[in-house]
Chain A
C-alpha cells in the first residue's frame, strides 16, 4: 500500500518572523542582520519611497532580525510542531506565568507582508532624498531636530563652514601669530556663497 509521504511544509517547521508594519521605521537593521538575504530594502527615488521586501521561503528563522529590530516591529513565533510541546509546558506551570504566542500557520503566512513601501525624507538643504522619513521621525524623539533634517553631506559642509566662524574667535595656543586676521567682510561673503550654493543644487534637482 503505497501512500504518499506526508508533505512537510518547511514554513511550519521553522520559527517564523511576524512583522508589524505600523511599528517599522525602515531603518534597515533587519536587512543587514539577515544572513539568508530574505529581506531587501531598495529605494525608488522617482516615487520618493523605499521598498521593503520579504521572501518567506528564503527565511531560515534564525531570529537575528527580531533581535536587532530597533522598534520591536519583528517578533519570532515558534514553529508548529514545537508549539504543541510549549502548550504542555504551559499546562504544567503552577502559576500560569507562561504565555505562548500562536504559531504561524499557512493562512497567516500567506497574509504576511511581503512587500511594502515607506516614504523617503528630503534634505532641507540640497533637496536629495537621503533616508526613510519614519527613521528620521524615530530619531527625532530623542535627538535634537537641528541636524536631522539635512543629509550627511550637508551636515559636513555646515560643520566645515562653522569652522570659519570658530577661526575668527579661537587662536591656537602654540602660534597665535600664525592665524590670519580676517575682517567681517570675508565672513559675510562666505556665508552668502554657502547659501546660494545650497539653493542652486536644490533647484537643479
Chain B
C-alpha cells in the first residue's frame, strides 16, 4: 500500500523557506530537534524543497543498527532517543533527505538545542564532547492531527500531500497520454 508523502511543485515554489521555518517551529513545540526536515535544493530552474518520500521498504529503516528508524503505520519515524548519529541512514537514503545534525540536550527544559549544522565527519574535538549527533528526517508531523505543517503554511500551495487517490489519477493520466501517443484517439478525453 503506498504511503502518503509530500511532493513539491517546482513551478509554484518561490524559495521563500516558509515551509522550513514552519517545520522547525512545529518540531520545537513537540520537543524534537528544532531544525527543518526539508532541504531547499537549488536547481537551474529555481529552488525546490525536498523531503522524505516515506519509502515502502525504507532503506534507512533497514540499515539502522539501533533500530531507531521504524515504520509506524504509514509514516517512517525516527526515534530521537534511540538514535546514535552514526549516519549510515544518510548514506542509504536514495534521495538524500536525511541529514545528521549536532544537537545539545539541556537538562533543565529537556529541549534539544541545535546550534549548528554539522556533517558527521566534519566536527571539531570540542564539539564532540558537547554535542550529540542526531539524524533528522521528515516524519510527516505524525503527532499533528491537522497534518503536515509545511503543506499548511506554503503561500503558493507548492507543497502537495500525495495520497493513494492522487497516484491513481496520475497513473491514469500517464496511461492516457501513452494511449494517445500511439494513436488511440478516444483516450485523450
| A-to-B contact residues, CB < 8 Å | 27-29, 31-33, 37, 40-43, 50, 68-70, 130-131, 135-136, 139, 142-144, 146-148, 151-157, 159-161, 163-164, 167, 169-173, 178-180, 186, 189-190, 193-194, 197
| B-to-A contact residues, CB < 8 Å | 7-12, 39, 41-45, 47-48, 50, 59, 62-63, 65-66, 83-88, 90-99, 120-122, 128-129, 133, 160, 166, 169-170, 173-174, 177
Contact B44 A197 (CB under 8 A): yes
Chain B, residue nearest A194 (CB) = B44
Known A156-B50, A159-B95, A160-B43: A179·B59 in contact at CB below 8 Å: no
Contact B170 A170 (CB under 8 A): yes
Chain A, residue nearest B43 (CB) = A160
Alpha-carbon separation in the docked complex, A151 to B65 (Å): 21
8 Å CB contact of B66 from A31, A68, A139, A151: A68
Give chain B's interface secondary structure class: mixed
Once A and B bind, how many residue pairs between them come within 8 Å at the CB atom? 131
Contact A32 B122 (CB under 8 A): no
8 Å CB contact of A27 from B9, B41, B87: B87
Known A43-B122, A69-B65, A159-B41: A136·B91 in contact at CB below 8 Å: yes
Contact A32 B121 (CB under 8 A): no
B139 to chain A, nearest CB (A): 18
Q: Which residues of A are found within 8 Å of B87, using beta-carbon distances?
A: 27-28, 131
Chain A, residue nearest B83 (CB) = A32
Known A31-B86, A32-B86, A136-B91: A172·B9 in contact at CB below 8 Å: yes
